[in-house]
Amino acid sequence: MILRYIHTYICTCSLFFFVSMASTIVTCSSSTRHPLSLSPLPNSFNLLSSYQPPHLPNQLKWKSFSLKQTAISIALAVGLITGVPTFGCPNDANAVSPVLPDLSVLISGPPIKDPGALLRYALPIDNKAIREVQKPLEDITDSLKIAGVKALDSVERNARQASRTLKQGKALIVSGLAESKKEHGLELLNKLEAGIEELELIVQDRNRNAVAPKQKELLQYVGGVEEDMVDGFPYEVPVEYQNMPLLKGRAAVDMKVKIKDNPNLEECVFHIVLDGYNAPVTAGNFVDLVERHFYDGMEIQRADGFVVQTGDPEGPAEGFIDPSTEKTRTIPLELMAEGEKAPVYEATLEELGLYKAQTKLPFNAFGTMAMAREEFENNSGSSQVFWLLKESELTPSNANILDGRYSVFGYVTENEDYLADLKVGDVIESIQVVSGLDNLVNPSYKIAG
**Is 239-441 in CATH node 1.25.40.10?**
no
Beta-sheet pairing, 368-371 with 408-414: antiparallel
Alpha carbons 133 and 165: distance in angstroms, whole number: 6
Q: Around Cβ 45, how many Cβ atoms within 10 Å?
A: 13
The torsion region of residue 98 among left (phi > 0), alpha (psi -120 to 50) and beta comes to: beta
- Dump the DSSP string for 311-366: ---SSS-SSPEETTTTEE--B--EE-BTT-SS-EESS-TTTTT-SS--BSS-TTST
Q: Are 51 and 395 spatial neighbours (Cβ–Cβ below 8 Å)?
A: no
Beta-sheet pairing, 28-29 with 61-62: antiparallel
Question: For 261-343, where are the E strands, in sequence order?
Answer: 267-275, 302-303, 307-310, 321-322, 327-328, 334-335
**Nearest of 225, 226, 231, 334 to residue 283 by alpha carbon:** 334
DSSP state at residue 195: H
- For residue 266, the model assigns a pLDDT of 85
The helix/strand/coil state of 345 is strand
Element (H, E) at 410: strand 408-414
- Domain segments of the chain: what residues? 115-229, 239-441
- For residue 110, the model assigns a pLDDT of 74
For residue 255, list its beta bridge partners.
270, 431
For residue 271, list its beta bridge partners.
254, 414
DSSP state at residue 372: -
**Nearest of 201, 190, 195, 191 to residue 214 by alpha carbon:** 195
Q: Are 277 and 120 spatial neighbours (Cβ–Cβ below 8 Å)?
A: no
Q: Are 54 and 38 spatial neighbours (Cβ–Cβ below 8 Å)?
A: yes
- For residue 17, the model assigns a pLDDT of 45
Alpha carbons 174 and 248: distance in angstroms, whole number: 24
Give the phi and the psi of residue 151 in degrees, each rounded to 5. -60, -30
What is the third-level CATH fold of 115-229? Four Helix Bundle (Hemerythrin (Met), subunit A) (1.20.120)
R_g of the chain, CA atoms, integer Å: 23
- For residue 398, the model assigns a pLDDT of 56
pTM of the model: 0.78
**Nearest of 251, 246, 194 to residue 227 by alpha carbon:** 251
**Nearest of 391, 388, 393, 426 to residue 408 by alpha carbon:** 388
- For residue 251, the model assigns a pLDDT of 98
For the chain, the first-to-last Cα distance in angstroms comes to 67
DSSP state at residue 84: -
Question: For 187-285, where are the E strands, in sequence order?
Answer: 246-247, 250-258, 267-275
Alpha carbons 436 and 284: distance in angstroms, whole number: 11
In this structure, the chain runs to a length of 449
Alpha carbons 330 and 322: distance in angstroms, whole number: 10
pLDDT in tens, the chain (449 residues): 444 444 444 444 444 443 344 333 333 333 333 333 333 323 322 223 334 555 554 433 333 334 445 444 444 444 433 332 222 333 333 333 333 334 434 434 578 889 999 999 999 999 999 999 999 999 999 999 998 888 999 999 999 999 999 999 999 999 999 999 999 999 999 999 999 999 999 999 999 999 999 999 999 999 999 999 999 999 999 999 999 999 999 999 999 999 988 788 889 999 999 999 999 999 999 999 999 999 999 999 999 989 999 999 998 888 999 998 899 999 999 999 999 999 999 999 999 999 889 999 999 999 999 999 998 999 999 999 999 997 655 566 656 779 999 999 999 999 999 999 999 999 999 999 999 999 999 998 876 54
**Nearest of 367, 121, 107 to residue 223 by alpha carbon:** 121
